[in-house]
Amino acid sequence: MIHLFLALSFLFAPAPAMAGEVVRIVLIQDSPGVLFTSTEGFFVHRKSGAPLYLRPVLSATIGIKRGLTVNRFDSLEDELTFLPKEGGKISVERRPYAGIVRVKKKKGGLWVINEVDVEEYLKGVVPAEMASDWELEALKVQAIISRTYALYQKEEHQRRDFDLMSTVLSQVYQGGEVEDSRASLAIAETAGMVLTYGGRTALTFFHSTSAGPTEDAEERWNINLSYLKGVNCPLDRDSPYYQWKRTISLREMETAIRRLNHSVATVTLLAPLQWSRAGRILTLKVLHSEGEMVLKAEDLRAALGYKFLPSTRFTIDSFGTEIQISGMGYGHGVGLCQWGAKVMAEQGLKAGEILLYYYPGVTLQSYKEIKSFLKSN
């Protein structure tokens, strides 16, 4: 019987583990159930590594009972691993991902984490973060800074069970759904290349549209790095977010403030209190019928939605039952401006030149060259 088990295990063994730099990305948080599918099939393994089934399955609905359930069968496990057949991908809620997928039972529900080689990961990031019909040098810029950002987060979070989110809270990752040949070419032509400073991986923040100078990370987030000081960015005027207007009802604004766990009655005044040197609002004063408070502008932006309030570079044009807002730019304003990089690439600048402009003093080099240094420090 043991010999039969070994033979079957060999016959249906999953693809070999990846040899490159693997990053861990949270795809789903606190869900009551998740659907996994694959046209090629995938294997389900227990936390110990033992297979839950000897043969691959084509679909599995995961829920929670005492442990994680697979198609209503209670595995009694708090973690399961899904491994694709060689050359295949696993779809999570109909979106395909390379690499393996882990499901963990946590207090709030199911967490789904994709573990994938960083170069494969970038195929789901670069075209999600930048239009694939932009100049190839701009796409190379995005590939390098997204790779650098991912590996920086991996170094910082070794004691955590994930490195990155799949949203704007890290960088947008949409798996195989967005893969594009031009983006993949940019990734391949910059394979393994990262930005470093002082022998360490740089922290490569980026944003869509600066609409003026970029921000100093120390002023914004108390991060004092010489390559994250503000620079002039006069080239992003063609961005659809260079200037924008928004209207929101007073009631909706009050609801957003309450989402920040503030007890607020009827708001009677909302006014900027502090600005950054680059012109973005840092804090706002809120007067309401039962008192007053100070809000961080970035917190209010998160509560309202990043697309609704594209940046904190705005003015309040009128305040009443409706609030009229005029603004400029999209994103936090720190690091590289993607629309500025687009125009620089169109003007003939190479990726390295663009990167040095937005991150002064960094070095472009292979990640392999710095790994031994990182391990020893």
Q: What is the pLDDT of residue 17?
A: 38
| Domain definitions of the chain by residue range | 2-117, 124-204+337-376, 244-327
In the prediction, which pLDDT does 12 show? 36
Helix H or strand E segment including 274: strand 267-275
Lowest pLDDT segment from 3-12, 45-54, 160-169, 181-190: 3-12
pLDDT tens figures, 1-12: 333 333 333 333
User: Tell me: the pLDDT tens digits for 232-264?
Assistant: 999 999 999 999 999 999 999 999 999 998 888
pLDDT at 20: 81
pLDDT in tens, 269-303: 999 999 999 999 999 999 998 889 999 999 999 99
Share above pLDDT 70 across residues of the chain, in percent, rounded to a whole number: 94
For residue 290, give both structure tokens.
Answer: 């039962």
Give the C-alpha separation, 268 to 193, whole Å. Answer: 52
pLDDT, residue 245, reads: 98
CA 203 – CA 206 distance, rounded (Å): 10
Instruction: Convert the pLDDT of each residue in 59-100 to its tens digit.
Output: 999 999 999 999 999 999 999 999 999 889 999 999 999 999
Percent of the chain with pLDDT over 90: 88
Interatomic CA distance for residues 87 and 214, integer angstroms: 42
**What are the Cα distances from residue 370, in Å, to 18, 136, 139, 196, 204?**
20, 26, 24, 9, 16
The pLDDT score that the predictor gives to residue 9 is 36
Residue 54: pLDDT band (50, 70, 90) is: confident
- Can you tell me the distance from the alpha carbon of 168 to that of 305, in angstroms, rounded to the nearest whole number? 11
Q: What is the model's pLDDT at position 310?
A: 98
| pTM attached to this predicted model | 0.91
Q: What is the pLDDT of residues 208-225, one digit of tens each?
A: 999 999 999 999 999 999
Task: Provide the pLDDT confidence category of residue 371 given band limits of 50, 70 and 90.
Answer: confident
When the pLDDT of each residue in the chain is averaged and rounded to a whole number, the result is 92
Q: Minimal CA–CA distance to 56: which of 46, 48, 44? A: 44
Specify the pLDDT at position 63. 96
Query: Which residues fall within 8 angstroms of residue 56, CB to CB, at 6 or more apart?
Result: 12, 40, 41, 42, 43, 85
* Burial group, residue 375, by CB count within 10 angstroms (0-12, 13-18, 19+): exposed
